[in-house]
Amino acid sequence: MVLPKAKAFAEVLIRGAPDEAWLRELTNALDRRVRTSPLERFVTLWGLSGAEAARAFGVSRQAFAKWSDNGVPGDRETAVADLATATDVLARRVKRERIPAVVRRQAEVLQGLSLYEMACGGRHEEVRDAVQRMFDLRRLQP
């Protein structure tokens, strides 16, 4: 629920914004400041439900929900870090509202899978590497 004062302040910012790019940059800055949990950022930016996020880590929805309270188990920290890195790259390079479609789109370079499907298959490091390759501009230079 958005607080009335917060909503009113947001409307003032929106009306006074120089352009949409500025608003997107403000949103990203606020997101980095407010969302301290890599899991929360992953779930939000990828547009996942709790059950979908749990599936990406191969655990039950209930187990995933406990991670918010008790922290990520040691055996899952690398997977969370890999998906956090992928999420950060996506957040820098893709419009926020397009990220859920990007991660669900099947791609030939991913052997016909989507990034989300790869994550669900436990291929978190490959997701990280694939996202980094997608936006590696060095490969486009002669």
Percent helix, strand, coil in the chain, to 5, is: 75, 0, 25
User: pTM of the full predicted structure?
Assistant: 0.75
Cα dihedral 62/32/113/76 (nearest 10): -40
- Gap between the terminal Cα atoms of the chain: 50
pLDDT in tens, 44-70: 999 999 999 999 999 999 999 999 788
pLDDT in tens, 117-133: 999 999 999 999 999 99
